[in-house]
């Protein structure tokens, strides 16, 4: 069922007062923050190695040698932590027909006229787009990163392959940083969103305004509990 795939095991309406809706359990929240911090560390260490003018950033990691050693391991942590989330959330992030109406009426999204848009499930199309972009870019980063991780994989790729991998790695890194900035900006722009990843729940009003179809599906499946 389309609705059921968007309902997580922890998703529950709590009657209140006030009405709240559980959105993420402790394990998902911890994993989310591991993913976020590993991406920040990866970006800072990568920038330090990207251009001489940014070499001063190696001071954050104890010098150039430590930065070069730690950078790929940050990538491994990012890959593992994100894909734990991926396999839990991918079904809820599949695109449906109403998502394309959301994109074609993006002016209403920016203007805050959500009443003119289709009702959203657990994730809106913008969130889904960021999710799939992150999934693809992290694969590009880990694959290209392994090709240029000479400490362990030097003999497995030719010089020409390494050159292509370096370019791919740099482009993917720039794109994923852009995606991350958009994700963070959107989280602050949509007031009440940060609470989902700090406390695990959102207000009933937030769910009704931004993800009304998800709220209806929770009620329709009997996912209603007494207040915590």
**Cβ atoms of 116 and 30 closer than 8 Å:** no
- Gap between the Cα atoms of 206 and 182, Å rounded: 20
Angle among Cα 112, 113, 114 to the nearest 5 degrees reads 95
* Cα within 13 Å of Cα(207), Cβ side: 25
Residue 63: burial class (beta carbons within 10 Å; 0-12, 13-18, 19+):
exposed
Question: Which residue of the set 51, 71, 183, 211 is catalytic?
Answer: 183
> Does the annotation mark 71 as catalytic?
no
- Report the C-alpha dihedral over residues 132, 138, 140, 146, rounded to 10 degrees: -160
Active site residue ranges: 183
């Amino acid at each position: 069922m389309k609705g059921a795939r968007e309902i997580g095991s922890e998703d529950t309406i709590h009657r209140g007062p006030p009405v709240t809706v559980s959105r993420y359990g402790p394990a998902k929240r911890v994993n989310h923050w591991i993913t976020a911090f590993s991406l920040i560390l990866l970006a800072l260490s990568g920038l330090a190695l990207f251009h001489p003018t940014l070499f001063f950033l190696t001071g954050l990691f104890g010098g150039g040698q430590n930065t070069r050693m730690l950078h790929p391991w940050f990538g491994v942590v990012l890959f593992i932590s994100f894909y734990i989330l991926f396999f839990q959330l991918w079904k809820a992030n599949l695109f449906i027909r109403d998502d394309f109406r959301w994109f074609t009426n993006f002016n209403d999204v920016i203007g805050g006229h959500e009443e003119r848009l289709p009702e959203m499930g657990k994730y809106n199309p913008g969130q889904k787009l960021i999710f799939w972009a992150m999934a693809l870019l992290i694969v590009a980063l880990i694959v290209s990163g392994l090709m240029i991780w000479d400490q362990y994989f030097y003999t497995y790729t030719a010089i020409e392959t390494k050159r292509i991998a370096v370019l791919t790695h740099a482009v993917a890194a720039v794109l994923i940083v852009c995606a991350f900035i958009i994700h963070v900006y959107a989280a602050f722009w949509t007031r009440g969103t940060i609470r989902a990843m700090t406390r695990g729940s959102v207000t009933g009003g937030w769910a009704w305004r931004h993800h009304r179809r998800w709220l209806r599906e929770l009620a329709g499946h009997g996912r209603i509990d007494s207040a915590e």
